[in-house]
A and B are shown apart, each in its own frame.
Chain A
Amino acid sequence: MTLREIKELLQAEVIQGDESLDVEITFAGGSDLMSDVLAFGKPGILLLTGLSNAQSVRTANIIDAKAIVYVRGKKPDKMGIELARENGIPLLSTKYMMYTACGLLFSHGLSGVSGISHKE
């Protein structure tokens, strides 16, 4: 699934990284807890989070996340956006809450970190 398809599914706004929407996303994970993201995240992950401070971007950068989707309409601060730009991490924001956003992506075939995916 491309980031563009994810943007459409989640009716998301692109905060940063308009030029990177064709990137292919193969799995995702959702957490507000950066400790958990560092412990269980894997390179290439699409990170869904409600944590909108600069730490979300720093954490994503450390684990080589492909992109971040902020849930509940949240948006990172200036520092976060700048960091994402420097490191080439696209940022999206959706109005959906965490459960709904994850559920929409999962039910459309995007698997989780452990590789479990939705079977039609």
Chain B
Amino acid sequence: MMSSENEFSQRFEITGGDFSNAGRTSTSIKEILKEIGIDSSIVIRASIASYEAEMNVVMYAQRGVLTLNITPEKLHLRLEDEGSGIENIDLAMQEGFSTATDEMREMGFGAGMGLPNIKKNADKFEISSTPGKGTSLDIIFCLNKTERK
């Protein structure tokens, strides 16, 4: 954890395939955001986006690192994973498109809603992926009222 007067930063490691702990990181992030005193509507949106992103790592990657960075202007969730990556990002962004297995569906996930839901909740969202290597996401929430969704 890194913290100064104007900036807070924390790094979380997520293990691919670890279904029993899936969601633990986002639960911690939600607690941190509440503690810092972030507006409750942003806490929910950021927690949902974080949870969807975390589930994607658990379901599709070997491992991932989620970095939470907060400044007075913005809340930035950056996720970098090592895994199979995404062949066609446009397709992955479509609601309902999914390559999930039965195990993932039994967990209540894999309905093809994850990435679209992250985008819906974020103020800014960027995704890049290299098939065979991994995917990175930048999920940003504006803390400055005028730029908010």
Residues of A within 8 A of B (CB): 32-39, 43, 49, 51, 53-56, 58-59, 61-64, 79, 87
Contacts and interface: CB of A to CB of B under 8 A. Distances in A.
B110 interface: yes
B135 interface: no
A63 to B, nearest CB: 7
Contact of B23 (A36, A59, A64): A59
Given A43-B44, A53-B108, A63-B48, A58 B23 contact: yes
Contacts, number: 68
Contact of A59 (B106, B108, B110): B108
Contacts of B23: 54-55, 58-59, 62
Contact of A58 (B51, B112, B117): B51
A38 B27 contact: no
13 contacts: A32-B108, A35-B52, A35-B110, A36-B111, A36-B113, A38-B51, A38-B52, A43-B44, A51-B107, A54-B20, A62-B51, A63-B48, A87-B27
The 7 A-B pairs at the shortest CB distance, nearest first, are namely A34-B108, A58-B23, A35-B113, A35-B111, A51-B108, A62-B47, A39-B117
A44 to B, nearest CB: 11
Most chain B beta carbons < 10 A, residue from A49, A51, A62: A62
Interface of B: 20, 22-24, 26-27, 30, 40, 44, 47-48, 51-52, 106-114, 117, 120
Given A35-B117, A43-B44, A54-B20, A62 B26 contact: yes
Given A38-B117, A62-B44, 5 more contacts: A34-B107, A38-B52, A43-B40, A58-B26, A58-B51
Contacts of B22: 55, 58
A59 B47 CA distance: 10
A54 B44 CA distance: 19
Contacts of A58: 22-24, 26-27, 51
A62 B51 CA distance: 8
A81 B17 CA distance: 22
A62 B107 contact: no
A79 B110 CA distance: 22
Contacts of B120: 39
Contact of A35 (B30, B44, B47, B114): B114
B69 to A, nearest CB: 20
